[in-house]
């Protein structure tokens, strides 16, 4: 628990502690001031009067109960002991007490009826009720609005960013084109006359589209930071409430606040929560979400002018947004924030490595090469996991061993080192993973095996990190076929070596079949011709593509299945020929895996070329030209001007050392 939370808890408990202290004080006061009280019957009181045993009498009438409350002290009573008795409200009782007083000579005190005092009546009867009602109202409002104490359902939940100006484009790495698209917004917020002078109208809304973790929210905060303008942020789900009309009221209030601070930015995160396409409800769509969306559309480009207000929204599902939200005049511009490429990943890693202690052998450009498909959030998590591992291993700096393990953790989860294979099962897994490695080495366009291990991770018994040799936007038919062959390498190896197959290739088949079916139905890479036969159909409710449009007959469906089967079978046959031709290499990699359990790309390449695992002097017999080629591939700067020993030293630092089994 942080210090701030502790202080808040103390503040919240203070009223209850104070009330408890007051109650205990009152109880203590009454216990100290009140002595022992003895209840007498009317007859016992008369006997005390006749025996001259009464020392003092206090008479208090109660007209509401039609009784006298008589208290006093007896002569034979103990110290501090009193008596009390209730008698009928009649003159006979009073006359008897007065007569006894004249005869026995004891003191009589008469008090007025307390019910005749309006203030006392109020305190005793009305004040407790009002106190209970007040406490109930206080608890109710506190539950609804925290510490605010007011029922402001219709007030906007948009918050003003307290870190105004702290996040700038310097903190956003790897998005040069996206920054350029948003630079106009910054210029407008700083100098709007520059645009209005030429009749230009700045976009009213910018929609940031991209996969999760690519930096959409960070980019919006950087725009506000660069412009040094007020920045309101809210989530799409904060508009929608249980009560009908609340969301629309919050939209109006949000724009009202923004107008008072114009020029400013409003950032709506996950806008698809409120901006989904209308008219998809069953039995009508006049619900709270649609009313909120209608109000948002009106505020963005309705009859009222919202000058100086720019809206930035983010979503990873632009396909489900209402068309009216995307038309010009509302969200005029869409900026796609895609997954970063290699250079962008390196820049992102540099940003997140500012506060990390890295060893000299860690080069961020090499890590960027090995993290194809990672988002900015994944890269941040990668370095954080590596730092945690370094602390766990009690190291003074993060090494490539921790980076390597962190990559595996992000992709597949932690290694299950306690899970033990049988000797037969370990050999099966080793040959399965070695089959992938052999095809990755022998096929030019297959995915490159970066790492192979037979240590279980997640749901997998073994793990093969296969990445494209180059990052490209398109793929040729040959490349797709060789990718399928690489995926089938594990099953082929099992069949060739053991003459039987296992269940370990089910995920490989899933990926291979998906590629083959896309080749037939989407890419036109089969004998059916260049025809798109299937298109994904998204569901605006489910948010996923659970079905596809079928633009073909049952006869064509059969032909599609035959074509997919033909592609898979042909790739399987070719992969089998390659495995059988390179059986020696397969045995070498598999046996090495059984011994070492984990092999990196450098070790696999060296093993294929030299027939043995590299050791400390593995670079002794390599020529200078080969060393420079290896240095170029590893991205070592200045390798062209280095001599042989310098390149060896740089490469030795770069090679990933297999971690100790105790780590």
Give the catalytic positions in this structure: 433
Q: How far apart are CA 518 and CA 523, in angstroms?
A: 6
Instruction: Give the helix/strand (H/E) hosting 159.
Output: strand 159-160
Q: How far apart are CA 652 and CA 240, in angstroms?
A: 58
Which residue, chain included where needed, has tokens 């919050």? 250
Both structure tokens of 20? 């408890």
Instruction: Give the helix/strand (H/E) hosting 485.
Output: helix 477-498
- Whether 614 and 606 have beta carbons less than 8 Å apart is answered as yes
By CB neighbour count within 10 A (0-12 exposed, 13-18 middle, 19+ buried), where does 266 fall?
buried
Q: How far apart are CA 97 and CA 109, in angstroms?
A: 11
Peptide bond into 263 cis (omega under 30): yes
Facing residues of 205 across strands? 311
- Whether 153 and 241 have beta carbons less than 8 Å apart is answered as yes
Both structure tokens of 299? 């505020």
For residue 37, which of 75, 73, 67, 88 has the smallest C-alpha distance?
Answer: 73
**Dihedral sign from CA coordinates of 265, 269, 270, 274:** negative
Residue 417 phi, psi dihedral angles, 5° rounding: -70, -20
Q: How far apart are CA 318 and CA 271, in angstroms?
A: 9
- Whether 238 and 360 have beta carbons less than 8 Å apart is answered as no
Contacts of 166 (CB under 8 A, 6+ apart): 225
Residue 590 phi, psi dihedral angles, 5° rounding: -65, -45
Q: How far apart are CA 588 and CA 581, in angstroms?
A: 14
Both structure tokens of 348? 């992102």
Burial call 363-378: b when 16+ CB within 10 Å, e when fewer? bbbbbbbbbbebbbbb
HSE of 533, CA atoms in CB hemisphere, 13 A = 22
Radius of gyration from C-alpha coordinates of the chain: 41
Contacts of 216 (CB under 8 A, 6+ apart): 208, 210, 269, 314, 337
Contacts of 42 (CB under 8 A, 6+ apart): 85, 86, 87
């Amino acid at each position: 628990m942080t210090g701030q939370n502790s202080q808040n808890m103390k503040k919240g408990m203070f009223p209850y502690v104070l009330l408890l202290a007051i109650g205990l004080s009152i109880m203590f006061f009454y216990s100290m001031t009140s002595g022992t009280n003895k209840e007498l019957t009317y007859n016992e009181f008369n006997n005390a009067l006749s025996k001259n045993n009464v020392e003092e009498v206090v008479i208090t009438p109660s007209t509401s109960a039609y009784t006298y409350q008589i208290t006093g002290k007896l002569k034979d009573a103990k110290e501090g002991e009193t008596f009390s008795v209730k008698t009928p409200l009649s003159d006979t009782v009073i006359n008897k007490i007065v007569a006894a007083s004249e005869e026995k000579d004891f003191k009589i005190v008469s008090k007025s009826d307390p019910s005749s005092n309006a203030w006392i009546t109020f305190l005793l009867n009305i004040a407790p009720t009002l106190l209970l009602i007040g406490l109930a109202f206080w608890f109710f409002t506190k539950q609804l609005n925290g510490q605010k104490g007011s029922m402001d359902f219709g007030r906007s939940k948009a918050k003003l960013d307290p870190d105004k100006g702290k996040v700038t484009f310097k903190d956003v790495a790897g998005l040069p084109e996206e920054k350029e698209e948003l630079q106009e917004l910054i210029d407008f917020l700083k100098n709007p006359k520059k645009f209005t002078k030429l009749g230009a109208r700045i976009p009213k809304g910018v929609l940031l589209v991209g996969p999760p973790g690519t930096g959409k929210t960070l980019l919006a905060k950087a725009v506000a930071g660069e412009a040094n303008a007020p920045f309101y942020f809210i989530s799409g789900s904060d508009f929608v409430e249980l009560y009908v009309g609340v969301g629309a009221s919050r939209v109006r209030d949000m724009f009202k606040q923004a107008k008072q601070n114009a020029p400013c930015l409003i950032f709506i995160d996950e806008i698809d929560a409120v901006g989904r396409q209308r008219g998809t409800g069953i039995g009508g769509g006049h619900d709270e979400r649609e009313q909120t969306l209608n109000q948002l559309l009106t505020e963005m480009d309705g009859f009222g002018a919202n000058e100086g207000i720019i809206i930035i929204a983010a979503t990873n599902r632009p396909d489900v947004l209402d068309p009216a939200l995307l038309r010009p005049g509302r969200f005029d511009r869409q900026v796609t924030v895609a997954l970063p490429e290699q250079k962008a990943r390196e820049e992102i890693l540099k940003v997140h490595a500012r506060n990390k202690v890295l060893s000299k052998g860690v080069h961020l450009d090499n890590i960027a090469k090995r993290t194809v498909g990672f988002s900015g959030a994944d890269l941040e998590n990668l370095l954080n996991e590596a730092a945690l591992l370094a602390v766990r291993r009690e190291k003074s700096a993060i090494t490539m061993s921790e980076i390597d393990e962190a990559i595996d953790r992000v992709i597949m989860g932690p290694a299950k080192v306690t899970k033990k294979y049988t000797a037969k099962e370990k050999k099966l897994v080793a040959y399965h993973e070695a089959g992938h490695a052999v095809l990755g080495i022998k096929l030019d366009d297959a995915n490159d095996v970066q790492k192979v291990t037979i240590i279980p991770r997640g749901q997998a018994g073994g793990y093969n990190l296969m990445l494209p040799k180059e990052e490209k936007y398109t793929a040729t038919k040959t490349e797709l076929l060789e990718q399928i062959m690489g995926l089938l390498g594990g099953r082929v190896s099992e069949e060739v070596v053991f003459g039987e197959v296992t269940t370990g290739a089910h995920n490989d088949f899933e990926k291979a079949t998906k590629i083959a079916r896309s080749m037939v139905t989407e890419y036109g890479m089969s004998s059916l011709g260049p025809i798109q036969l299937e298109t994904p159909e998204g569901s605006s409710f489910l948010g996923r593509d659970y079905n596809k449009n079928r633009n073909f007959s049952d006869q064509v469906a059969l032909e599609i299945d035959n074509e997919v089967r033909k592609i898979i079978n042909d790739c399987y046959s070719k992969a089998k020929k390659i495995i059988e031709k390179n059986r020696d290499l397969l045995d070498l990699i598999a046996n090495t895996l059984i011994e070492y359990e984990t092999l990196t790309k450098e070790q696999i390449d060296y093993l294929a070329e030299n027939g043995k695992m590299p050791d400390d002097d593995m670079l002794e017999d390599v020529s200078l030209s080969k060393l420079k080629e290896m240095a170029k591939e590893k991205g070592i700067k200045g390798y062209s001007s280095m001599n042989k020993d310098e390149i060896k030293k740089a490469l030795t630092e770069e090679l990933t050392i297999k971690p100790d089994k105790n780590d």
